[in-house]
């Protein structure tokens, strides 16, 4: 058994692998205030719920973009699983060549997604991650991570509109089923939904122009991928578990 943990700014995704097969996965809100004991009790509850022995976990691998969580999370893994987790970071074998000006600046989740996308869909590939931020990562045919684009996520944009425009309400992110809104809520939903579709299609097109390669696949992941990317003509694949599958691949490259 391998436990893979992806800590994002908004949500934390946990996956339990048996060999190469993902048996279970869970999504939780990321909470920087949880203690190691609270996290440990959560682990125990999850394993009791699926009738598995927590001691059956051979190893743990963690990818995180939230440093304040790590002390408690690592402490929980060590205390409740008696395992010293692998942390994805500088020095981790990935099979990807990072061509960023400063490779240490690349978020661990972006590298994990790149590894997973290349493994599952081949290279060249563009990964669009609909998370707290919407990010685009470009990997060429030589498996070089070239860089990418970082935009405010759709939830951030919706919240900013609510906070800065006094008469506009907070709305649910949804497909309005038409561009022309007939009321304020529908108009905001239309602007968010179709605005992000347009953003994705334009940025992907510009990235492809700069990459100058043929047959570039576009893979979408993240919490809102199915809602937004399903309407983007440029997206070839949607895989909301891309990061967990990338963690599995990186684990086997670094297995102790």
Write down the pLDDT at residue 177.
82
Write down the pLDDT at residue 147.
95
| Helical packing angle, 67-81 and 36-49, nearest 10° | 60
Contact 119/113 with Cβ under 8 angstroms? no
Write down the pLDDT at residue 55.
87
Give the separation between CA 119 and CA 246, rounded to whole angstroms. 8
- Written as one string, the DSSP assignment of 226-241 is HHHGGG-TT--EE-TT
Write down the pLDDT at residue 256.
58
Contact 111/145 with Cβ under 8 angstroms? yes
User: Is residue 129 annotated as a catalytic residue, yes or no?
Assistant: no
Write down the pLDDT at residue 103.
86
Write down the pLDDT at residue 108.
92
Question: CB-based burial of residue 80 (10 Å sphere; 0-12 exposed, 13-18 middle, 19+ buried)?
Answer: buried
Write down the pLDDT at residue 104.
87
Mean pLDDT for each consecutive 10-residue tract of the chain (256 residues)? 94 93 94 94 94 91 95 95 92 90 90 96 96 95 95 92 88 90 93 95 97 96 91 95 95 84
Catalytic position from the list 6, 37, 53, 109: 109
Write down the pLDDT at residue 255.
79
């Amino acid at each position: 058994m391998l436990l893979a943990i992806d800590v994002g700014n908004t949500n934390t995704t946990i996956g339990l692998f048996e060999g190469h097969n993902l048996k279970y996965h869970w999504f939780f809100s990321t909470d920087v205030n949880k203690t190691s004991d609270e996290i440990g009790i959560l682990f125990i509850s999850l394993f009791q719920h699926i009738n598995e022995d927590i001691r059956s976990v051979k190893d743990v691998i963690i990818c995180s973009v939230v440093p304040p969580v790590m002390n408690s999370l690592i402490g929980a893994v060590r205390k409740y699983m008696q395992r010293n987790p692998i942390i994805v970071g500088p020095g981790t074998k990935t099979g990807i060549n990072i061509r960023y000006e400063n490779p240490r600046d690349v978020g661990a989740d972006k590298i994990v997604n790149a590894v997973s996308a290349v493994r599952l869909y081949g290279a060249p590939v563009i990964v669009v991650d609909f998370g707290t931020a919407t990010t685009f990562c470009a990997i060429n045919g030589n498996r070089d991570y070239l860089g990418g684009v970082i935009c405010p996520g759709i939830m951030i944009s919706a919240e900013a509109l609510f906070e800065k425009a006094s008469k506009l309400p907070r709305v649910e992110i949804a497909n309005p089923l038409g561009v022309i809104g007939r009321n304020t809520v529908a108009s905001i939903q239309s602007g968010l939904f179709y605005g992000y579709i347009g953003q994705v299609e334009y940025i992907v097109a510009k990235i492809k122009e700069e990459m100058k390669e043929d047959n570039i696949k576009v893979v979408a992941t993240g919490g809102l991928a199915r809602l937004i990317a399903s309407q983007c003509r440029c997206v070839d694949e949607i895989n909301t578990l891309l990061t967990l599958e990338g963690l599995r691949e990186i684990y086997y490259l670094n297995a102790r």
